[in-house]
Amino acid sequence: MNRHLLSAADLNHDDALLVLDTAAELAALTDRAVKKLPTLRGRTVVNLFYEDSTRTRISFEAAAKRLSADVINFSAKGSSVSKGESLKDTALTLEAMGADAVVIRHPASGAPDRLAHSGWIGGSVVNAGDGTHEHPTQALLDAFTMRQHLAGGKGDLAGRKVTIVGDVLHSRVARSNVLLLATLGAEVTLVAPPTLLPFGVETWPCSFSFDLDSHLTSADAVMMLRVQRERMNAAFFPTSREYSRRYGLDVRRMNLLPDHAIVMHPGPMNRGMEIAADVADSERSVIVEQVTNGVNVRMAVLYLLLAGAQLGEPDGSDRTAEGTAS
Amino acid sequence: MSAARTPDETRTVLDSDDIARALTRVAHEIVERTKGADDIVLLGIPTRGVYLANRIAERIHVIEGRDIPVGSLDITLYRDDLRRAPARALLPTTIPPGGIDDKIVVLVDDVLYSGRTIRAALDALSDIGRPRMVQLAVLVDRGHRELPIRPDYVGKNIPTAKTEKVLVHLVEFDGDDAVRLSGEPGEGS
């Protein structure tokens, strides 16, 4: 029974499609006058954020509120964590308050896993980014965005070519994307300087390269990763300018892309570093759309986890044929 | 004690001709009761209610010579028993371009049983707009209401035991048209 979403690898092909299809139906809500559903009324969702975040926390908060859940926002700054409280004691406090789900972002890889399997709390745990490990809901919203543009909004991403460029080493987004996109049938190529590819990347379900230009001409989507200076305690490349010249997406490189290809970025962007401002603001850029889709995808995840879902066993029974609820 | 049927056996209570006749009558009743069906919107409840709504709209088109807006209304997110079962996949909700404000909305479903689906549908409707009136058309009313809800148009009243199941098959989804009963008839059926 899968009560948690800790890794993109937790989702098999059917689970992933269930989340994306649910998100697609929920997206229709955005056009309605009343953007609120009663589905999670009386449930409590705690946003437990040990790291700074703008879009992910707001996105989870909006998603939970649109489903009528009660939302408690917890950020490490200004809490007892700054007095030295451990993750365990914080978790026990949340459990005592009756949290049905904990959305956790933590600088340590594996913290959500620890929280989910320690027995400290009884609710569902959703990984909203842990260290350099994973960020599964980002991968889901990226896949959702690609599906809207490249697959007519239906089915999986079989045969689509996705190029992920930049600081793969420090990127939880890249790892989750590679895992999920492989599940959905896409062909992923990582492009980065050798110093910014993680150890063991050859065992990932994707290919990798050190040359960006050659992987743009056939790409359906190119995803630029932020250079995470705050995690860099060594010199991974000589200068920012050199990095930008070799691995940044500028207008010349964007013009190498096929006409239908989209440009993505998980944000926050370093304009002028990994992505030129002209590219970020171009018509190919779906970066703002990614944020919109994030709310719908997170609503789908919260709905499927909290409304009693067992991801992996979508309910196949037929409501009306059974006549149980009509 | 009619123990002649085992739980696996099924009995056909409506065949395809019966269903066709019932829907034609319901279409006529809708036109009559709404005085020409001028501003009605048919909203089917997925899955089979949507096919029934389309069939009723075709029949009203034959009678009145006008196209009737048809949509679908998924009520999954408004159910009161969500926490009792694994989360369900959502089904499409499509509201016709004209919307439902100040219209007569006719909800269409295949089987009316406890009334809880319709309660959920009424909640869903109020989040989408404010119809002038809401009516309910069902192919089968099998009784055992748990809420003060009644249908305006009924294809067929079928008295059932709670232990029985009503199985609706429609060509568009199941390949054939039939309404069958299965399970123990039980006392008083």
Please check whether residue B25 lies inside any domain of the structure: yes
Nearest partner of A247 among A260, A237, A261, A232, judged by Cα: A237
Check residue A308 and report its DSSP letter: T
- The number of domains in chain B is 1
pLDDT at A79: 75
Q: What percentage of chain A carries pLDDT values higher than 90?
A: 75
Q: Which residues form the domain of B126? A: 14-80+89-161
Structure confidence at residue B4 (pLDDT): 52
Q: Token pair for residue B43?
A: 């909203």
With 70 as the cut, is the pLDDT of residue B189 above it? Answer: no
**Mean pLDDT, residues B105-133:** 95
| Interval B122-147 mean pLDDT | 95
Structure tokens that stand for A70 in this block: 């009660």
Q: Tell me whether B51 touches chain A (CB under 8 Å).
A: no
- Cβ contact, residue pair B82, A307, below 8 Å: yes
Structure ipTM over 0.85, yes or no:
no
Is B128 close to A32, i.e. CB distance below 8 A? yes
**Is B174 part of any domain?**
no
Q: DSSP assignment, residue A95?
A: H
Query: What's the mean pLDDT in A284-300?
Result: 95
Q: Do B86 and A28 touch (CB under 8 A)?
A: no
A323 pLDDT exceeds 50?
Answer: no
Distance from the first to the final alpha carbon of chain A: 28
Examine residue B66 and state whether it is found in any structural domain, yes or no. Answer: yes
Please give the mean pLDDT across all residues of chain A: 89
Chain mean position to CA B8:
25
Residue B127 located in a structural domain: yes
- Higher-pLDDT residue of A273 and A320 is A273
A313 vs B contacts (CB less than 8 Å): 86
CB–CB of B44/B72 below 8 Å? yes
Residue B167 counted as domain residue: no
Domains of chain A by start residue, with CATH:
8-134+294-306 (3.40.50.1370), 136-289 (3.40.50.1370)
What is the mean predicted confidence (pLDDT) over A65-77?
A: 90
Confidence of residue A49 (pLDDT cuts 50, 70, 90): very high
Q: Give the bridge partners for A124, in sequence order.
A: A101
Q: Tens digit of pLDDT for each residue in A190-234?
A: 999 999 999 999 999 999 999 999 999 999 999 999 998 887 777
Report residue A321's pLDDT band, with 50, 70 and 90 as the boundaries: very low
Q: With a cut of 80, say whether residue B76 has pLDDT above it.
A: yes
Question: Does residue B1 form part of some domain?
Answer: no
* A175-178 contacts at long range (C-beta below 8 A, 24 or more positions apart): A175/A8, A175/A132, A175/A133, A175/A134, A175/A204, A176/A7, A176/A8, A176/A134, A176/A135, A176/A136, A176/A138, A176/A139, A177/A8, A177/A138, A177/A139, A177/A142, A177/A143, A177/A223, A178/A204, A178/A205, A178/A206
pLDDT per residue as tens digits for the range B31-56: 999 998 889 999 999 999 999 999 99
CB of A102 closer than 8 Å to CB of A72: no
Confidence of residue A312 (pLDDT cuts 50, 70, 90): very low
Planar angle of CA A101, A107, A111, nearest 5 degrees: 45
- A129 close to A47: Cβ distance less than 8 angstroms: no
Give tens-digit pLDDT for A146-193: 999 999 999 999 999 999 999 999 999 999 999 999 999 999 999 999
Instruction: Say which CATH number the domain at B25 has.
Output: 3.40.50.2020
Our CA-based measurement puts residue A212 at a distance from the nearest CA of chain B, in whole angstroms, of 40
Compute the average pLDDT of residues A243-259.
Answer: 95
- A63 contacts in B (CB within 8 Å)? none
Tell me if chain A has a CB within 8 Å of the CB of B116.
Answer: yes
| Residue B105: strand, helix, or coil | strand
pLDDT of A38: 92
pLDDT of residue B183: 81
Distance CA B133, CA B131 (A): 5
Predicted confidence at residue A308, as pLDDT, reads: 66
pLDDT of residue A325: 39
Note whether B89 contacts A325, CB cutoff 8 Å.
no
Comparing B159 with A323, which gets the higher pLDDT?
B159
Residues of chain A that touch chain B, judged by Cβ-Cβ distance less than 8 Å: 18, 21-22, 25-26, 28, 32-34, 36-39, 67, 303-305, 307-310, 313-315, 318-326
